[in-house]
Each structure stands twice: as structure tokens, then as C-alpha cells.
Structure 1
Amino acid sequence: MTLEQIKEIVSTLDNVAFQLEDGTFVPEHFHITEIGVVTKHFIDCGGTIRNDKVINFQLWNANDVEHRLKSAKLLNIIELSEEKLGIEDAEVEVEYQSETIGKYDLDFNGKNFILKNKQTACLAGDSCGIPVEKQKVKLSALNDTCCTPNSGCC
């Protein structure tokens, strides 16, 4: 989800709520303590040099349980970050503390923002040497008329 998409959604909400994919909610007294741009310049295992840039939101829980982030406040924080940091529209990732700092993609289910689990992956699959997983097929699911005499399959 991009920053522009988030701004469009937030402008229609009274309160902002985040939920993990397992249904657990981020406590409603969370703070967005940082908005920034994270740039990653790296080389993959196949030797390709890559650049990645995301906008990062950091969610944090404090002991001020009366705190609630209203949509107008979040829009103000976003606008300030755009102005002061020169942030342009890009994908947003969210940092949130669990056992360690987790990074999440973001989605919206019509009511709440959903923190979607991120997964690592090999970006150089064609040169990395990892075998492609073979598709498993149940023989009973195959049409047993395909290899009858005169069917043209053999």
C-alpha cells in the first residue's frame, strides 16, 4: 500500500486502528513515533545491484493508555514528513515491536489497517541454484480418458 493510498483511506476515518494478520489488534493507545524513508542499496546473491526505497512507519506502545491517534493527527504527521523530508509517494512498511522489531506490509480491510507478515525471498532465483519446486499432481485427479487408445496423447 502506498502513502497516497493511506492518506486517502485515513481521510475517511475517525480513528486509526492496526490489526495483525492473526486478528490481534495493536493496542489502541499506540503512537506513530517515526515516519521516514528507508533506502537499501544492496547486491543479491546473483550479483545484481539493487536499490529499494520504502516509507517507514514505526508503531510504538507507551503506558499512556488514554492516547488515541485520530485521523487528522496522522494526516498532519504525514504532511509534516512529506514537507520536511521531501517524501514522495512510495510503498509503506510498518515496524512494530513483538519479540523483536517486525517489519510488515500494509493492507486495509475496509475498517482497519492490516499488518501483513513480510517474507524473505531469493531475488536471483534463476542464478542462485535453488531447484524449482516440482508441482505435485494426484494421479486420481487426472482425467483417466487421456491415455486411452487413439486419444492422441501418446
Structure 2
Amino acid sequence: MNVAEFRAVLLADPGAALHLMLPDGDFVPAHFHVTEVGRVQKDFMDCGGTRRSVVSCLLQVWVANDTAHRLTAGKLASILNLAAPLLGSDDLVVEVEYERDAVSQFPIAFAEMTPAGVLFHLGRKHTDCLAPDKCGVSGCAPASNGAKSGCC
């Protein structure tokens, strides 16, 4: 889900409560705070020597002991609007950063309106070889003949 889609969901029912469902079916506690809205740019070289760049909108979510706190869809839309000049684009993919055992980032897979409010389903990120054509095998294993493939 990109920033424009995310904002549209929030503005569809500004008074709605927000719920975040993790990929394993657990929920982020309802009293979460959004402590940061950031534009994150990752510039890197893949294992085949191609230079790449990925830019996203990252919402950092934090849970405090103020269990009465609730963030509405409209309030989060206002926070997102404050960050618009920083983000620079409504096409950025939105991800949620949340800490349980470790700090993890989850793309927002989709949203649904429920009687309890807006439910955002968080997806998983996966690692993968970005240069399979240079590696010559799926799974990005080193060349069996010892030749330098530039991969793994």
C-alpha cells in the first residue's frame, strides 16, 4: 500500500479506531503511538554488481504504558500530512516498524473496514537474490566450478 492509498483509507472514516494485525495474527496493542513518519532511502549494490535504490515511508510504532491512549484514523492522517513535504511522494510504499523480540519492518498488505475500526494487515518482508541472471542458479548459490559469479 502506498502513501496515497493509506491516506485515502484513513480519510474514509476519520473517527475510526486503528488496529494493526501482524503477519502471525497477533495485534499491536490498541494504545500504540506513531512516534515517527519517515522517508527511508536505501542505496545499495546487489550481488551481481547492479546499483539499486529503494525508498519507502516508514511509520515507527511504539507502545507505552498509557493504555487509555487511542490514535484515530483522522489524527494519523493529520500526522501524515505534516510529513508530506519530507516524504516528497505519495507513491512510496508504507511500512510499519514495530518492536517485539526485535525491531522489524512490515509492509502494509491491505486494509479493511470492520465494526471495530480500520484494520491494517501487515505483511512480511523477504530476502532474495536480486541478480539471479548473474548467479546462474535459483537460490543464489556460488558457482559450483569455483568461478567468481559476483553473487553470494
* TM-score normalised over the length of structure 2: 0.81
2:2 — aligned with what? 2
What RMSD in Å do the two structures reach over aligned CA positions? 1.4
Query: Which of the two has higher C-alpha Rg?
Result: 1
**Structure 2 contact 42–53 (Cα < 8 Å) conserved:** yes
What is the CA–CA distance in structure 2 between the aligned matches of 1:54 and 1:86, rounded to whole Å? 8
What is the CA–CA distance in structure 1 between the aligned matches of 2:74 and 2:19, rounded to whole Å? 13
1:80 — aligned with what? 82
Greater alpha carbon shift after TM alignment, 72-81 vs 12-21: 12-21
What is the CA–CA distance in structure 2 between the aligned matches of 1:15 and 1:23, rounded to whole Å? 18
1:116 corresponds to which of 113, 123, 135: 123
- Aligned in 2, Cα 1:88/1:109: closer, same or farther, shift over 3 Å? closer
1:128 CA drift (Å): 2.3
1:56 — aligned with what? 58
1:11 CA drift (Å): 1.1
SS in 2 for 1:27: coil
Superposition map of 1:86-101 within 5 A: 86-89=87-90, 90-101=92-103
- Aligned in 2, Cα 1:109/1:98: closer, same or farther, shift over 3 Å? same
1:109 CA drift (Å): 4.2
Deviations 1:74-94, CA, capped at 9 Å, x for gaps: 0110000013x2531111111
1:17 — aligned with what? 19
2:142 — aligned with what? none
* TM-score normalised over the length of structure 1: 0.80
SS in 2 for 1:46: coil
What is the CA–CA distance in structure 1 between the aligned matches of 2:88 and 2:70, rounded to whole Å? 25
What is the CA–CA distance in structure 1 between the aligned matches of 2:72 and 2:93, rounded to whole Å? 22
1:132 corresponds to which of 119, 138, 144: 138
Q: Comparing both chains, which one has the higher relative contact order based on Cα–Cα distances under 8 Å and sequence gaps of 6 or more?
A: 2
**Structure 2 contact 57–87 (Cα < 8 Å) conserved:** no
1:71 CA drift (Å): 1.1
What is the CA–CA distance in structure 1 between the aligned matches of 2:88 and 2:98, rounded to whole Å? 21
Identity fraction in percent: 40
Q: What letter matches 1:124 in structure 2?
A: A
Residues matched between the structures, number = 131
Could you list the structure 1 runs, at least 4 aligned residues long, displaced by more than 3 angstroms after superposition: none
